[in-house]
Amino acid sequence: MQIQGWQMTAVGAPMELATREVAALEDGQVLVRVAGCGVCHTDLGFRDDGVPTRHPLPLILGHEISGTVIEAAADSADWVGKDVVVPAVMPCGTCDPCRRGRGSICPRQIFPGNDLDGGFATHVVVPAHGLCPVPSLDGAGIELADLSVIADAVTTPYQSIIRSGLREGDVAIFVGIGGVGGFGVQIANAMGAHAVAIDVDDVRLERMEQFGAELTLDASALDGRAVKKAIKAFAKEGGHPRTEWKIFECSGTPAGQQSAFGLLVHGAYLGVVGYTPKKVEVRLSNLMAFDARAEGSWGCLPEHYPAVLDLVLRGEVQVAPFVERRPLSSINETFEAIGAHAVRDRVVLIPDQA
């Protein structure tokens, strides 16, 4: 059969509609009819900032994918007919890092829209290993297309939160709440933490007060010292911990990364979730002085996906209010709007035909 998708041909160039012929599926592969594919800032990094893809161009981008398996290799036939979320990072499951629980650094991992054609298309061919099955959504009040954002925007902060050792009653601080950070606030709140949201968008901040943020701070109106002072006052007045804060940098901007590093307190954890190709200057010795730790988090291991999906289906993490659906054919206009910061929600592109 034929797949239609929008391929990247060069850095900075508009994406072009292309047709791909699907060859016979190899062992372990499935063909997914795309219900929706979320647009991540990583996609803009590839197209606009020159972040290199691992597969040479031309390449169909898109790694936040949900859909329905319509064909499968013989060894994966049980997947046919199932609705799924396709993990953004799909480890092989058999190499030494995978066996040691380090699938995020699997040298044979598959990243749709990076290692192979991704989800800005009618269909996508991906490994069956690691797919997250979606139960019937009848009466769930959410569409399969909206669940596409689980594949990065929701699961990525979840993995960082799990790695931080977040416990009930902890102070969890999210720097940047557009997309990833906003879902992080909801996850932390669902886990019983006291969530703090920091951003430069007052509309986002006001909205997050309805979705788990106990304290919101406008970084455009406060310098780093004032932000830290406000969080300390919040912790003191609420009887919350004033040490061992869990800090998550989700903005993917130099200013956000510097601000997050400046929030370190004794025993703090700094999770680096956002990405920027730009350099940041920090005093690394603060980690030593505060006996703190900083850790990056690449995607999310597929084994965490069912727990995240459960949070969403139980309504503890709301996805639909933060999703804006657009037709896939609007991809170039959508990329321009996101790049110009004219979109607040996570855009999910819906194939015009499937």
What CATH number should be reported for the domain holding residue 250? 3.40.50.720
Of the residues 296, 316, 342, which one is the last residue of a structural domain? 296
pLDDT exceeds 80 at position 353: no
Per-residue model confidence as pLDDT tens digits over 151-187: 999 999 999 999 999 999 999 999 999 989 999 999 9
Interatomic CA distance for residues 312 and 210, integer angstroms:
16
Distance of CA 174 to the CA centre of its chain: 14
Handedness of CA 109, 130, 294, 62 (dihedral sign): positive
Shared domain check, 276 and 319: no
Per-residue model confidence as pLDDT tens digits over 207-258: 999 999 999 999 999 999 999 999 999 999 999 999 999 999 999 999 999 9
pLDDT exceeds 90 at position 1: no
Strands (E), the chain: 2-8, 16-21, 29-38, 59-60, 64-72, 83-86, 123-127, 132-133, 171-175, 194-199, 213-218, 246-249, 269-272, 293-296, 323-327, 346-350
Which residues make beta-bridge pairs with 31? 71, 125
Shared domain check, 338 and 251: no
> Residue 331: its pLDDT value, please?
98
Interatomic CA distance for residues 19 and 6, integer angstroms:
9
Q: Is 8 helix (H, G, I), strand (E, B) or coil?
A: strand
Shared domain check, 161 and 135: no
Residue 94: pLDDT band (50, 70, 90) is very high
Per-residue model confidence as pLDDT tens digits over 15-53: 999 999 998 999 999 999 999 999 999 999 999 999 999
Interatomic CA distance for residues 213 and 182, integer angstroms:
9
pTM for the whole structure = 0.96
> Residue 312: its pLDDT value, please?
97
Shared domain check, 258 and 309: no
Residue 140: pLDDT band (50, 70, 90) is confident
Beta strand pairing call for 29-38 and 16-21: unpaired
The CATH code of the domain that includes 140 is 3.90.180.10
> Residue 248: its pLDDT value, please?
98
pLDDT exceeds 80 at position 87: yes
Shared domain check, 317 and 216: no
Shared domain check, 188 and 287: yes
Q: What is the number of structural domains in the chain?
A: 2
Interatomic CA distance for residues 151 and 155, integer angstroms:
6
Shared domain check, 272 and 205: yes
Of the residues 251, 276, 296, which one is the last residue of a structural domain? 296
Structural domain range at position 75: 2-152+300-350
Shared domain check, 8 and 146: yes
Average pLDDT across the chain, whole number: 96
> Residue 108: its pLDDT value, please?
96
> Residue 23: its pLDDT value, please?
84
Interatomic CA distance for residues 289 and 310, integer angstroms:
39
CA dist list (Å): 102 to 88, 126, 305: 15, 21, 16
Shared domain check, 144 and 9: yes
> What's the average model confidence in pLDDT over 286-307?
97
- With a CB cutoff of 8 Å and minimum separation 6, the contacts of 56 are none
Shared domain check, 148 and 8: yes
Shared domain check, 237 and 166: yes
Shared domain check, 139 and 117: yes
